[in-house]
Structure 1
C-alpha cells in the first residue's frame, strides 16, 4: 500500500489501508484515516488530520506553513473531513494563532486542480471549487457552495450556503446564502434556482426565495431594512438560512 520511494515520518499515523504513491512525503504529526489515497509527489506536513476515503492527487501540498508574514512557526493545524477529492497541484495551508490556529475543510468536497485554501479558512461540505479558485486567509465558505474557475475571495469574506460564483469572479464582500455572483468586483445576479430544483426544493419555496431576493436587491433598501422585513415573515428553514447569512455579515454583502 505504501510505495518504497515514499518518505514517511516515524511519528505519522496512517491507517493500515492508506495508499501512498511514489515519492510522496508525509511529515511529522500527520494522521490519515482509513481508505484515503495519497498519490505520487504529494507533500503533507503536520499538524494535519485527514479523514476517511479522501483522494489527494499528484503534486498537492497539504498542511504547509502559511504565507502570513506574522506566522513565526507556532503549532497550528489543518483538519480535512471524509470523501474529499483534492486534485493535482492544490495548496492547503494550516492556520495561525492570530485566528483559531486551524484551517478546516469538511466532507464530500471537490477541489479541482490548483485550488488554493489559505490559512484559517473554514470550508463546509459538498462544495466545488473549480480550477484555480483561491481563498485568501480567514475566509468562511458554507455548505453546497460552487466557486467557478479562477474565482478569488478576499480575506475575511463569508460565502453563504448554496451560493455560486461565475468564472473569474473577484469577491470582496460577503455573499448571502443562495446568491449567484460574477464579475470584478463581484455583483449579485440572482439566486441559484437551478441548484434549488436539483436539491428538490418545492416551487413554492423557490418562489418565496425569489421574493426574498427581490426584497434585498430590487427595492433600494439598506441591508438592515431588508432584514427587518424578512424577519417579520413566516420563515421556512431555507429562508432562515438566508436571513442568518445577512445578519452575520460584517463586511457588507455583495450587491
Structure 2
C-alpha cells in the first residue's frame, strides 16, 4: 500500500528528476505516450501538456495511487509494470522512480527496447542511493533482534539494486538503441522536524509500514529518528541537507 498524500509532501523535489528526464526526450508529435508507474498523476499531467495530441496511457501497481491519479484527472489503470505490453503506436515510454522496485528490470528494459516500434523513446529514472545512510540505517534497524522476526524477508533494497549509468547505456546500446545515460546527485534542502524520516516514509519505508501495525510502526519510527538525525544533522535554521543520487537513461530504438 502507498500513501499518495505522504508521497506528495515533497512533490517539487520528487518531481525535479522527472523533468530532467523528459527534457532529454526529443519526440515532437508522438502518437501514444505511456507513463509506467504514474503515482498520483501529478507528473503525468505534464506529459499531457507537452504532447496534447497524443493518446496518454498511464498505469500504476498501487490501487491508492491509481485512485489519486484518477481524482487528478488522469485515466490511470492498475497494472504491474512487468505485465505491460506496448501498443503498436507507442512512441514514448516514461518510467520514473519505478524500476528500482523490480529486480528483473534489466530484462524488462531489453524486452521493451525490442518490442517498441523503431524510433520510439524509452526514458527511465531510478534512485541510486541505496547505500546512503538513509537506507543503510533502515536495513540495520530492521535486522536488529527487536525487529528481525517481524521484518525478515522484506525487500529492503541495498547496494546493487540499481546499476551505474554506463551499465544501462551498454544494455540499451546492445539492444540497438541510441542512448543517453547519466547520474545526478541532488543536494536537497528539506525542512521540518525529522525531515529525512518523513521523506523516506513516503517511499523506502513503505514495505516496513505495510508489515507493522500502527503501534509497531510508531516504535520503529521512534527508534529510527535519532539515527537519521545523527546522520543528517539539522542546520541552525532547522533545515537538513539530503543528498540524493539518481540514475537516468534515455534511449531511442532502432539506432542500428
Comparing both structures, which one devotes a greater share of its residues to strand? Answer: 1
Flag the structure with larger Rg: 1
User: Normalization by structure 2: what TM-score?
Assistant: 0.23
Q: Which has the higher contact order (CA 8 A, sep 6+)?
A: 2
Under a length normalisation based on structure 1, what TM-score does the superposition of the two structures give? 0.23
